[in-house]
Structure 1
């Protein structure tokens, strides 16, 4: 159980905003062999600090953090790296890797195109 994945969202106090991220976590858990956990940067639970602590206590020594952001703005350039640096100090021997946000991945545009095409097909069929 060395590796794990955290999918990181910004966070919101609105449970309706949180729901799609919870569904994504469940779908990823069902399809990936690596343990997957959802965490939030701020505003709601579970916070990234809690999830990192739980995973490390559970024997994970390497955790990738995949930001569910479109681009690397101030949060991903400053805030999240600061959070991870503090966590590295608390959890000696734990490797935390901040991945590029999903919106910067080349496949992201392909996924958006698929969604648009699917919606256009549905619209042309009267749905």
Structure 2
């Protein structure tokens, strides 16, 4: 197996902000056959540059990057592609693919509807 998945979050210096992403990484690792790693764009570790280097050292030559963003704003149109271009120059043998952000996936709205329905059901049970 030579393909890995990086789930990419923005990054924050607040460890409480980081915790849900770390939990998501563990849940994905438990459910997926593809190796999954969490990385951050900036502000905290592990940075995407370090995770790509680690995966490359482990023998992965194809890495998909799934942004945990709702939409493709400046970071996903400019900053992250710039980071990936620099990584491609450093590791020309790697295939790095930036996937669409999770918020643009057609199933995203379905997941949000499910969450709202579950929360409404739970709130009516406690009243």
* TM-score, structure 1 as length reference: 0.99
Residue aligning to 1:84: 84
5+ long unaligned stretches in structure 2: none
Q: Distance in 2 between matches of 1:44 and 1:3?
A: 25
Q: CA RMSD in A?
A: 0.7
Residue aligning to 1:69: 69
Post-superposition offset of 1:117: 0.1
Q: Secondary structure at the match of 1:42?
A: coil
* TM-score, structure 2 as length reference: 0.99
Residue aligning to 1:122: 122
How many aligned positions are there? 127
Post-superposition offset of 1:14: 0.1
Post-superposition offset of 1:46: 0.1
Q: Distance in 2 between matches of 1:92 and 1:105?
A: 29
Post-superposition offset of 1:99: 0.1
Residue aligning to 1:13: 13
Q: Distance in 1 between matches of 2:2 and 2:86?
A: 21
Residue aligning to 2:58: 58
1:44 pairs with 2:66: no
